[in-house]
Amino acid sequence: MATHTVPLAIFSEVMAGPERHPIPLSCAPMKSIVEILDDNRVKLSVEVDEETFDVAVDAAFKRIAKEVRMPGFRPGKAPRRLLEAQFGSAVGREEALREAMPEYYAQAVIEHDVDVVAPPEIEITGGQEVGPVQFDAVVEIRPSVSAAGYDGLQVEIPNPVASDEEIDEQIDNLRRNFAELSVVERAAADEDHVTIDIEATHGDEPVSGLTTTDYDYLLGSGAVVPEIDENLRGTSAGDKVEFSAGHPDPEEEEPLQFSITVKEVKETVLPDLDDEFAKANSEFETVEDLRADMADRMNTMRIQQANMAVQQNTAEALAALVSDEIPESMIENEINARIQDLVQRLQQQGMDVSAYLEAVGQTAETLAAEFREPAEQAVKVDLALRSVADLEGLFPDDNRIDEVIVEMAGPSGQDPDELKARLAEVGQISALRSDLAKQAAMEWLTDNIELVGEDGEAIDREALEFPARGAEEDSEQEE
């Protein structure tokens, strides 16, 4: 009998497995066995007894009755026997197979804890006309991968402690807000302000916006075109430079012609860094206090950045260890999940998806292509974390699962036993166990990897902890 691939729409709720798309199931009596195949596939062989399936057939005829009109009966009230007489019993059986088979399949997946990652290929092997319903479902499962080397990972992160030079630079930025300009009798250098008369032409026509007098230009800023900085460096008051430069518009082939006269060179003079400056321009009485506060603020920000980098860079390093071939179905599922997340966020903001794509110059195809690389990495991280959890024995036991379910039930006041039963019914206990294992694996990694700074220096883990605040600071924060 020919293999029948069930339409994706029917299995949209189980295509990524019960872990991500739970389906509530009835407790229909059925038998199922699982057989391990090659290429990360399994075959589920399912049999539903005739009496149980007849309930689905009866429900199918009730749906059919709502769609047809029979003399003497209101819509939906025509009895099954009359419908069978008019349309044949095969119609109801076919409708029942279409509606009930996804539930039978999903129940078998949950019963055998099969971690499916793609829609199944269904072959009906019996019961299409009479008798028990039998079918085989061949489905791709989540593979196991090797993450060899995870226990010796070295991860680079930003240094969580600001250097003296970085603190000085921030203080100098504050001083620049109160700087003055002083005319100098020397050649212009970067960060000098140069007063110029500038004239730009394109095809012998003046360029609007690039022709003016007494213009204050910050040398080294790279404004307009880089050739301006290149030609003004080393010039002095009274010098005149002429040069050509490529047009900023790439569609314009003819270059721009510049003529610039240097009228004055000024350097930036920063105010003295003393206690008077601190009093006048900050909330602090001394430069020492100003510098200490600047260091605290910078270090707080750097610690936040470093901790974020630990998680992100560890995941990236872990994904790089995976050399196994990743199932295309898993990558496609992740791409679709990311697109769906974007669509939902746009809808929450009242934005039309088509209008958004047009505004950013993309199509659905280019958006999917853009998501492909991060999606593939996310799948690798997922598989690698499972591998680490397995090798390190980090999968939670039943007691830990019960503890987490109690925590989950707490905020809503739901009975933990009822919640656990519901999670088991829809196949979510295994998903919860996997999520906790992956979380534990990431924690194990971040506790055991070697952390280095951007220059290769070792990073002390204590430096990633935020300094304890005093009672006075806590009171101020609360206020």
pLDDT > 50? residue 79:
yes
Indicate the SS3 state at residue 153: coil
pLDDT, position 62: 85
pLDDT, position 140: 95
Indicate the SS3 state at residue 6: coil
Closest CA to 153 of 449, 458, 391: 449
pLDDT tens for 367-389 read: 999 999 999 999 999 999 999 99
Confidence of residue 16 (pLDDT cuts 50, 70, 90): very low
* Through-space distance between the first and last CA atoms of the chain, rounded to whole angstroms: 75
Closest CA to 167 of 267, 288, 329: 288
pLDDT tens for 175-197 read: 999 999 999 999 999 999 999 99
Confidence of residue 471 (pLDDT cuts 50, 70, 90): very low
Confidence of residue 70 (pLDDT cuts 50, 70, 90): confident
pLDDT tens for 193-236 read: 999 999 999 988 999 889 999 999 999 998 888 999 999 999 99
Interval 149-168 mean pLDDT:
94
Confidence of residue 82 (pLDDT cuts 50, 70, 90): confident
Q: Provide the β-strand partners of residue 35.
A: 43
pLDDT, position 469: 58
CB count in 10 Å sphere of residue 323 = 10
pLDDT > 70? residue 335:
yes
Following DSSP, what letter does each residue of 99-139 receive, concatenated? HHHHHHHHHHHHHTT--B-SPPEEEEEE-SSSSSEEEEEEE
Identify the weakest region by mean pLDDT among 49-58, 305-314, 328-337.
49-58
Interval 421-440 mean pLDDT:
93
| Prediction pTM value | 0.73
pLDDT > 80? residue 102:
yes
